[in-house]
Structure 1
């Protein structure tokens, strides 16, 4: 009897593991050098980077056959460090995961929309102050980020490797524009803070079992 072959699904790479594979596309290196490269690339803007996260990602990648040991690196009296290289399977996995990350639109649950859903419970002046505070913080961060982006582009870094930073700048600019419009509407009264709910949107009071007995 012939046993049908089963296809083992490829492991789903975490964002950190995908970034580790990205730096290994350049050359083999040990995990600490990977961490240094990732920080120099400012990839800590995208994921939480620390030695533990990188070493854990490398262990998983090696287990899944996406990286392999190629030797050791010794620098002076420092302990030997294992050097890893990306495998052909790792290159394919990196490209596949990158396609997924760009194409997919999974639900995200950032905290700010939760605050917006609840801010109407606060007094109008408190809500306005909070919106203005957020707007000022975003504007300050955007100015600094734009200056850094323009500086590295002027030094010759291709814009194609900075699409994530460019996207964040545009997304933040859109949020600032929304905040400006919303703040103006609250200030002018176009967005009322005291308008009553229409009857169709009033929730009836729920009666507890004790009250009906």
Structure 2
């Protein structure tokens, strides 16, 4: 089965593009949501996180202690790298199991903001990058995420792979720049993947 990765910077429009593929009947693996699920349910990962970050990594009820973990990794690149080194391999395993279960789908999509940073691209047959210029993304994000400042958004962007690099590495680009219609771009790629 064809495995298509979909990435793009924050505010580029990955979610809306994925929703369009879902309307066309294509299963989409949401890496962020699944990473949260895996951190909560994968026994091996829970043991590894507890060993790495201490007994406070999980609450007495067994739930991931997100504020505690966030506090440890926020502005600490070494601790963040340690967290990612534990979580990303378990998410890759989860994706493979999920993809194998999608037996009636012609292909699957994996949405991941950190497609390259997490090495998830290595599991994919092709990569789509959703692109929007920075000023368009900033406007969308300030409207969508009212709790975030422009400085907050720029800090998130600075931690993601450069847009030029994403574009250079992409097999396909969907332009979500408020100038071009995205539905025809999605439909054209869908037809291409069906005939692959």
TM-score w.r.t. the length of structure 2 is 0.29
Higher share of residues assigned strand: 2
Q: Which has the higher contact order (CA 8 A, sep 6+)?
A: 2
Q: Decide which structure has the larger Cα Rg and report it.
A: 1
Q: Please report the TM-score for the alignment, with normalisation by the length of structure 1.
A: 0.28
Kindly indicate which of the two structures has a greater share of residues assigned to helix.
1
